[in-house]
Amino acid sequence: MMIKGAIERITGPVVIAKNMLGSRMWDVVRVGDSSLLGEIIKLVGDRAFIEVYENTNGLKVGEPVISLEKPFSVELGPGLIGNVYDGLQRPLEAIEREQGEFMGKGIRINSLDRKRKWNFRASVKEGEDVAPGQVIGAVKEGSVDHKIMVPPGITGKVKKISSGSFTVDSTICKIGEEKVSMLQEWEVRRIRPYKRKLGFFDPLVTGQRVIDSLFPITKGGTACVPGGFGSGKTVLESVITRNCDSDINIVCRTGERGNEVTEIINEMKGDRDRNDKPLMEKSILIVNTSNMPVVARETSVYTGITMGEYFREQGYNVVILIDSTSRWAEALREVSGRLEELPGDEGYPVYMESSMGEFFERAGRVENLNGSTGSLTLIASVSPPGADFSEPVTQSAMRSSKVFWALDQRLSWRRHFPAMDWLVSYSNYVDELNGWYEKQTEGWNETRKRIMEFLQKEAELERIAKVIGVEVLPEREKFLLEITRIIREDFLQQDAFDRVDSYTDINRQHSMMKRVTKLHDDGMKHIEEGKKTAEFLDKKTRERFAKMRDEV
C-alpha cells in the first residue's frame, strides 16, 4: 500500500510530514505538488522529518508527500564515464538539451541514456555457474573496458546469454529465472560487497614531486588537503586528475562557485591525460554548485563514492577527488540546526566526525568477489575559514585520513606552488611504500630522508638567523641554507601549466634529489678545506640547478 502523507511544517530545507506511518529511515520521498526529491532523516511517531534536495520555495502546508519506499540509489552501468551529473545523479547535459539552461523543480530523468546502444561482448557461456560480482561480459566505453558483472544477490547457471548491440536496460543474460541487464541500481549509503580489504602495495603516482617524493599516497589511500582561499587546492586536484596513474577519475565539486565549476568542466573536456588520451574518457564529474540546495551536497559525495566502488569492483584503480569537504560539513550543520539537535564545536553536529570516518572507510584496496583486486583512493580538500587548521572540519578530516597535505597561504603569496607546507604535512604510508620505491630506484629512501632532514634543519636555522642574522652563522650552515633554497625553488616548486614541469616520473625525481644531495656533500668538503659558499656555489652552478626542472 502506498504511503502518502501531507506537509505539516516547512523549515528551510527540512519538511515535516504527518501520516507517514510505515516509512523507514533514508527512504526517498516526493514532496509537494512540484514532486521535489527528498530523503527521510528522522521518524517520530507518524511524522517524518525530510531533507529536501531541491529548493523548497513555494511549498505549502497540506501538499502531498509520497514515499517511494526505497533508499536513494544511483544507476550504475555503461554511460557513466564522460558524463556530468548533479548531486542527485541527474545528467546536466541531457537536462540542458530538454529544458534549456535553467533547471526546473522536480525533474525526473534517467541517469543513464535508455536509447543509446552498446556493443556487449559476452565472456561466459551458457551452462556455466556464476556468482555475484563475476564478470559476464564487457562494453568498450571510451578508453575503458566497462565490465558487466552479476548483480549482488543473484547466483546460478547461465541459461541464456548473447553478444550484440543492446541498451542498458535490455536483457543480455538469464541466470536461473533472473533476467540480467547492463544496468544496476545501488543504494548510496550501502558499501558495495567485497571479499576482504588488502594491505597497501604501490603509490598513486601523481607526477608532483612534493607528493611522490616527500608525502606519498598509496592506491586505496586517503588524503586530506586543507588550505585557505587562493592556496591552490583546486589547481592541485586538477593536476592530480590529469597526471595520476589511475584507471578512473571521479571528481566531486561540492558547493563551489558556479563560474569556477563551469571553467573546470570546460578545461577537463579539452584536457588530455599523461598518455595523451582525452581526460573525459576516464572521468566522471559530479557538480553541486554553491547556488544549488545545500543539503544535496551530502548526497553528491555519496553518489561519487558509490560510483567509485562500482568501478573498483571491476578491478580498476579509482581516484575520487572531493572539493570541498567543508561544504558537505556545512550541509550537515544546516540540517542539524533545522532539526534542533544539540550542536558540537562551531555549531557542527556531534556526529560529524563519525559520519566522515565512515565515509573515508569506504576507500581502500580490496579483493573483489570475482577475485580481482581494485582500489579506491580518496582525496578530499578542506576550506577552513581563515586558513585555521584547528577548526572542526579540518581536524575531523585529518583524523579520518592517513595523509595530510597542508597548503600554506604564505607560500602561495610567494608564488610557491604547490603551496604544500613540508613542516606540517605528513604521510603515514611512507614505511609501507619503502619497498616499492627501492625496487624502482635504489637508494630512494635514504635520499628522501636526507632531503627531509635538510628542510627541517633549515627551519631551525631560520629561527636562529632571525635573531642573530645570517652573516654570523658558520659557513657550513650558510651553505645548508643555500642547499635548501635550491630544494624549495628548483625541486619542490612545480609549474602546473608547463608541459615538461607539470609531470615528473619517479626515476627523474630521484635523480633530481641525488643531484642536490651530491651538491651538498661536495660543498661540505670544500668548506672543510676553508672555501666560502660563494666560491663553490657560483652563478653558473645555480643556473644549472635552476634548469633542472625543465630537463626531460
pTM for the model stands at 0.95
Cα–Cα dist 273/534, whole Å: 43
CA geometry: angle at 235 spanning 142 and 211, to 5°? 90
For the segment 460-474, the average pLDDT, to the nearest whole number, is 89
Residue 289 is predicted with a pLDDT of: 81
Residue 316 is predicted with a pLDDT of: 98
List 186's β-bridge partners, or say none.
74
Q: How confident is the model at residue 176 (pLDDT cuts 50, 70, 90)?
A: very high
| Cβ contacts of 126 within 8 Å, gap of 6 or more | 158, 159, 160, 161
Per residue in 353-401, pLDDT (tens digit) is: 999 999 999 999 999 999 999 999 999 999 999 899 999 999 999 999 9
Please report which helix (H) or strand (E) contains residue 512, including its range: helix 506-528
| Cβ contacts of 497 within 8 Å, gap of 6 or more | none
Residue 304 is predicted with a pLDDT of: 97
Please report which helix (H) or strand (E) contains residue 288, including its range: strand 283-288
CA-CA-CA-CA torsion sign (255, 257, 258, 262): negative
H helices present in 180-257, as ranges: 209, 233-243
Bridge-based pairing state of the strands 317-323 and 373-382: parallel
* pLDDT surpasses 90 at 512: yes
Cα–Cα dist 539/545, whole Å: 10
Output the CA–CA distances (angstroms, integers) from residue 174 to 123, 163, 451, 475, in the order listed: 14, 13, 59, 79
Pick from 141-155, 168-182, 283-297, 382-396: least confident:
283-297
For the segment 523-552, the average pLDDT, to the nearest whole number, is 85
List 380's β-bridge partners, or say none.
224, 322
Answer yes or no: are the C-beta atoms of 315 and 192 closer than 8 Å: no
Cα–Cα dist 529/522, whole Å: 11
CB-count burial class (<10 Å; 0-12, 13-18, 19+) for 132: middle
- The residue behind cell 619542490 is 492
Answer yes or no: are the C-beta atoms of 534 and 525 closer than 8 Å: no
The rounded mean pLDDT for the chain is 93
Question: Can you point out the beta strands (E) in 151-221?
Answer: 156-161, 164-166, 171-175, 178-181, 184-187, 196-197
For every residue of 434-498, DSSP letters joined together read: HHHHHHHSTTHHHHHHHHHHHHHHHHHHHHHHHHH-GGGS-HHHHHHHHHHHHIIIIII---TT-
The CA-based dihedral angle spanning residues 314, 317, 320, 321, taken in that order and rounded to the nearest 10 degrees: -160
For every residue of 16-78, DSSP letters joined together read: EEES-TT--TTEEEEETTTTEEEEEEEEETTEEEEEESS--TT--TT-EEEEEEEE-EEEEST
Per residue in 60-79, pLDDT (tens digit) is: 999 999 999 999 999 999 99
For every residue of 87-98, DSSP letters joined together read: TT--BHHHHHHH
Cα-to-chain-centroid distance, residue 97: 29
* pLDDT surpasses 80 at 103: no
Cα–Cα dist 293/105, whole Å: 11
Instruction: State whether residue 426 is helix, strand or coil.
Output: strand
Residue 99 is predicted with a pLDDT of: 84
- The residue behind cell 635538510 is 454
Output the CA–CA distances (angstroms, integers) from residue 50 to 7, 336, 457, in the order listed: 10, 12, 55
The 3-state DSSP composition of the chain as helix, strand, coil percent (nearest 5) reads 35, 25, 40
Residue 552 is predicted with a pLDDT of: 59
Cα–Cα dist 16/65, whole Å: 10
Higher pLDDT: 471 or 175? It is: 175
Higher pLDDT: 295 or 514? It is: 514
CA-CA-CA-CA torsion sign (170, 173, 179, 185): negative
Residue 542 is predicted with a pLDDT of: 86
For the segment 471-478, the average pLDDT, to the nearest whole number, is 90
For the segment 193-220, the average pLDDT, to the nearest whole number, is 96
* pLDDT surpasses 80 at 323: yes
Nearest Cα neighbor of 306 from 95, 71, 66, 545 is 71
Residue 100 is predicted with a pLDDT of: 80
Instruction: State whether residue 343 is helix, strand or coil.
Output: strand
Higher pLDDT: 102 or 271? It is: 271
For the segment 501-529, the average pLDDT, to the nearest whole number, is 94
Note the maximum CA span of the chain.
Answer: 92
Q: How confident is the model at residue 98 (pLDDT cuts 50, 70, 90)?
A: confident
* pLDDT surpasses 90 at 515: yes
Cα–Cα dist 108/523, whole Å: 69
| Cβ contacts of 39 within 8 Å, gap of 6 or more | 26, 27, 28, 29, 50, 51, 53, 71, 72, 299
Cα–Cα dist 97/74, whole Å: 22
For the segment 431-452, the average pLDDT, to the nearest whole number, is 96
Per residue in 408-428, pLDDT (tens digit) is: 999 999 999 999 999 999 999
Residue 446 is predicted with a pLDDT of: 97
Per residue in 211-238, pLDDT (tens digit) is: 999 999 999 999 999 999 889 999 999 9
Residue 513 is predicted with a pLDDT of: 97
Question: What are the cell numbers at 332?
Answer: 550537515
Residue 324 is predicted with a pLDDT of: 87
